[in-house]
Amino acid sequence: MMNSRIAQYVTGVAPIVMSLIALAVVIEGVLQFGSHPPADEGWQAHVFQILMVVQMPLILLFVAISWRTSRRSLPVLGAQALLWMLAVGAVGFFHL
């Protein structure tokens, strides 16, 4: 039972933290290059892509682990989805 709680906590928090880091990477890229990124993708693009893709299995694992307590896990799932869309939206907003 304790391992399930730890896994639920990790898979609940990790995507939120990863989205915040991805958003920070976007902001750092905008501060460094403005809305005109260099022709060659820099490290920011690679880190952003890895963070955003790795979140998907973690979110699916969170849903699989917490499906019995879905009512209590909905705010976490909502935060994960909102921050994921915010990070992706920032890329679109700044035309990166």
Contact 30, 48 (CB under 8 A): no
Residues 1, 67, 54, 29, CA torsion sign: negative
Tell me what pLDDT residue 72 has.
85
Tell me what pLDDT residue 1 has.
53
pLDDT means over runs of 10, the chain (96 residues): 83 96 94 81 91 95 87 91 95 88
Tell me what pLDDT residue 70 has.
78
Domain with 18, as residue range(s), is 2-93
Tell me what pLDDT residue 24 has.
96
Enter the pTM of the model: 0.89
Which DSSP category does 39 fall into?
S
How many domains does the chain contain in total? 1
CA–CA dist 39, 27 (Å, integer): 18
What angle do helix axes 70-93 and 2-33 make, rounded to 10 degrees?
10
